[in-house]
Structure 1
Amino acid sequence: MKKWVLITGAGRGIGAATAKHLASLGYKVLINYRQDSASAETLKENILSQGGEAHTVQADIADQSQVRRMFETIDQAYGQLTHLVNNAGILFAQCRFDDIEAERFRRILDTNVLGSFYCLQEAITRMESGSAIVNVSSLAAVTGSPFEYIDYAASKGALDTMTVGLAKELAAKNIRVNGVRPGLIYTQMHADGGEPDRVDRLANQIPLQRGGQPEEVAHAIAWLLSEEASFVTGSFIDVAGGK
């Protein structure tokens, strides 16, 4: 079957690395972005130049109506979705728990939890036996990310719970749902949190003594989507250097 994969938040970082890697493996890639159309188009052109197939689809996944429109566009223009990588996520500046404002927490949940929920609901109505989903979580779901991003960690903990529950609901249909939990990875997201060099500062706390690259997470995602992982569902790969 043709493999159509939608990657949310694919314009940069782990999403972009995953898009390139999956395209090299023969997937037809749908690059979702919220507002940075230039990055998404550059990524698409890069994939096309390497002989792959890619298309851009705009939607803010925190908005359910935009998610529905995006999936309807995919139905009409591209074909049946077979794979989903729920990668889009946001965080805000580092702070202690008692300094987190309720509106900030709501915005985190709207994208990281509800946005993933909307995409999952739309995707599973279109998927058939042999399809697969990977939810991109974070090691913060395990550590709690104290003094920095407890709200972000909580959102990823919720995503992990959805991953396990949905995997069990869809197992009889042979639709697999798994997660990856990246640790300290060199992406632009650390700048969003106010510390672009965060990985370098904390690298000595990682057993492998270095930060990870987006491509290393992309390879884990690709394996979980592949038939090589056909007996794996409701599971997680921690891409965190042993932390």
Structure 2
Amino acid sequence: MERWKNRVAVVTGASAGIGAACVKYLANNGMIVVGLARRKECIEALRDQVEASARDRLHGLQCDLRDQQQIIDVFKVIVSKYGPIAVLVNNAGVLRNTNLVNDDNQQDIQDVIDTNIVGVVNCTREAFRSMKAHGGVGHVFLINSICGHNVPKAPNFSLNIYPCTKHAVTAMTEVYRHEFHMLGTKVKVTSISPGTVNTEIILPKMKEILADAPFLQPEDVAEALIYCLQTPPHVQLHLDEQAFELLPDISVERQQTNRLILSGLHQNMERWQNRVAVVTGASAGIGAACVKYLANNGMIVVGLARRKERIEALRDQVEATARDRVHAMQCDMRVHQQIIDAFKVIVAEYGPVAVLVNNAGIVRIANLVDDNNLQEVQDVIDTNIVGVVNCTREAFRSMKAHGGVGHVFLINSIFGHFVANIPNISINMYACSKHAMTAMTEVYRQEFYKLGTKIKVTSISPGVVDTEILTPKVREIMNNTPPLKSEDIADALIYCLQTPPHVQIHEMIIKHVGELF
């Protein structure tokens, strides 16, 4: 957080819940924080809840986000009194329990739209103006919701226009990413989409309906925000997060460092010390980076790949104390029996599996409609889909037999969320296989829950990464697209492992700032 020390962060909806938690975490991490809300006195009361050295950095201003002129005036005051804005947290949001088709609900609908959409646009415009005028660097957060990705069916309760506004925020995130890049800035934008959070927005009737559902805490979301701020300048995250529940999760876009330490994070890597992690496709790229990061953070790591000798060579690239924790086994993800045999050996020689990183993946450059491409199509399916299912089944068996706790990672891709139209090139079955992985993440989440375990599952979806999977032709076509590093993905994985046992990062999308896709 060094580069953010004594810089200005603005948090909307700061009087309670997620906003209040963000105010406290940002102030404790050295930022000058201005909280905006209609209840100014509630923000000022937060001074008693931060470290003594942070109290003078916490300020409250009254502002109703439904009033554009109030927003314009308050941002002028902030810049003139405290300095240029470096971070904006668009957290303010409201929910109304009424059907869209009801009579006499126009004010309810207008309040939700004006707060959740128009207020965000107005605040972001003012903050961006300040960021652009002072170096073109900053970070805009949109506190979104799982309702921005799907519309949950709540018995005897209507979320009204709320999911509609959150879907608008989801689209807004990508619109801002394009605009910030086109306008020549390095301003980042991150959408954080929590599941159910224990805040005032949960109306009494909703709490009654959700009585048996586990809730996230506001601090869980604030910690995710601090993590995003710690990412390197070239890394940008979109994040989905959830508690263990039969509802969707939390999602972010993200950064790099070998050993990430988050101030205020109440869990770290201690509970994973000397436990077994299995990494597929471990001979190079993201897999190799994950092997090194996991070993350096105290885990016993078994890398699987066809090129076993390249995994063994990674011992020279980790800390001296970690070398004996790196192990290599030869395994072809396309051969089911090899996977079964490899996991039997792992459990017998090193112990039960605690973490599985499904990283192995291949791409083939050919049209789906081409003649004589059956083997290429089959190789992609067998590696990117069937291999993941087979490895996860074996790892899950071990996790369930030893306490029902663990973490399964699916190294996905942004092509698991859309299909890019790349000139003069077809990525064949690759995008199809990654879309399957996106669905697989949610299937596993539901299965792990229904089978009575506390096993987490996380999909990490990077943009373009500088690895061997990029063929010379692809590199030539994407010459102007800045790639992420494999270490950026490995660092994101370590962050997910550090989250508390009740928090699950369901989907993390990581892009390079300025990426075309």
Aligned-partner Cα distance in 1 for 2:355–2:487 = 19
1:197 deviates by: 4.5
In the TM superposition, residue 220 of structure 1 has moved relative to its aligned partner by 1.2
Counterpart residue identity of residue 484, structure 2: G
SS at structure 2 position matched to 1:177: strand
Structure 1 window deviating more from structure 2 (141-150 vs 170-179): it is 141-150
Matched, 1:152 2:430: yes
- CA deviation digits over 1:6-64, x for unaligned, max 9? 00001100001111111111111111111x22311101343363534111111111111
C-alpha separation between the residues in 1 aligned to 2:411 and 2:501? 16
- Asked if 1:8 is matched to 2:280, the reply is yes
The residue matched to 1:237 in structure 2 has which SS? strand
Whole-Å separation in 2 of the counterparts to 1:4 and 1:14: 18
- The change in CA–CA distance for 1:134 and 1:15 in structure 2 (over 3 A counts) is same
Gaps of 5+ in 2: 1-270
Work out which of the residue numbers 187, 206, 212 in structure 1 matches 2:467: 187
Whether the aligned pair in 2 keeps the contact of 1:188 and 1:196 (CA below 8 Å) is: no
Counterpart-to-counterpart distance in 2, 1:177 and 1:132: 6
Residue of structure 2 aligned with 1:80, choices 352, 356, 365: 352
1:69-108 deviations in whole A, cap 9, x for unaligned?
0001101111111000000011122x44433723211111
* 1:117-139 deviations in Å (ceiling 9; x for gaps): 00011010100333101100111
8 Å CA contact 1:18–1:218 kept in 2: the answer is: yes
Is residue 164 of structure 1 aligned with residue 442 of structure 2? yes
Cα distance in structure 2, aligned partners of 1:61 and 1:77? 20
The secondary structure found in structure 1 opposite 2:332 is coil
- Between the aligned partners of 1:136 and 1:119, the Cα distance in structure 2 is 13
Count of residues paired in the alignment: 232
- Equivalent-residue separation in structure 2 for 1:48 and 1:39 (angstroms): 17
Q: Does 1:137 align with 2:412?
A: yes
Match of 1:236 in 2: 507
Question: What amino acid maps onto 1:217 in structure 2?
Answer: I
Q: How far off its partner does 1:223 sit?
A: 1.8
5+ long unaligned stretches in structure 1: 204-209
Asked if 1:46 is matched to 2:317, the reply is: yes
1:115 is displaced (CA, Å) by 0.4
Aligned residues of 2:417 and 2:438 also touching (Cα < 8 A): no
1-side partners of 2:435 and 2:336: how far apart? Answer: 21
Structure having the higher helix fraction is: 1
Contact 1:57 1:70 in 2 (8 A): yes
Higher relative contact order (CA 8 A, sep 6+): 1
After superposition, the C-alpha distances for 1:158-201 in whole angstroms (9 at most, x for unaligned) are: 1111111111111341100111011111111102x7434555x2
Look up the match of 1:206.
none
Q: Which residue of 2 aligns with 1:178?
A: 458
Relative to structure 1, is the Cα distance of residues 19 and 63 closer, same or farther in structure 2, using a 3 angstrom cutoff? Answer: same
Q: Is the Cα contact below 8 Å between 2:276 and 2:301 reproduced in 1?
A: yes
* 2:40 aligned partner: none
TM-score normalized with structure 1 length? 0.87
CA–CA distance in 2 between the matches of 1:211 and 1:228?
31
Cα offset, 1:211, TM superposition: 1.7
The amino acid that maps onto 1:47 is V
What is the aligned-residue identity percentage? 25
- Rounded to whole Å, the distance in 2 between the matches of 1:97 and 1:115 is 21
Change (3 A) 1:13 1:50: farther
Corresponding residue for 2:293? 21
TM-score (norm 2): 0.43
SS, match of residue 301 in structure 2: strand
Amino acid at match of 1:183: G
Counterpart-to-counterpart distance in 2, 1:198 and 1:184: 12
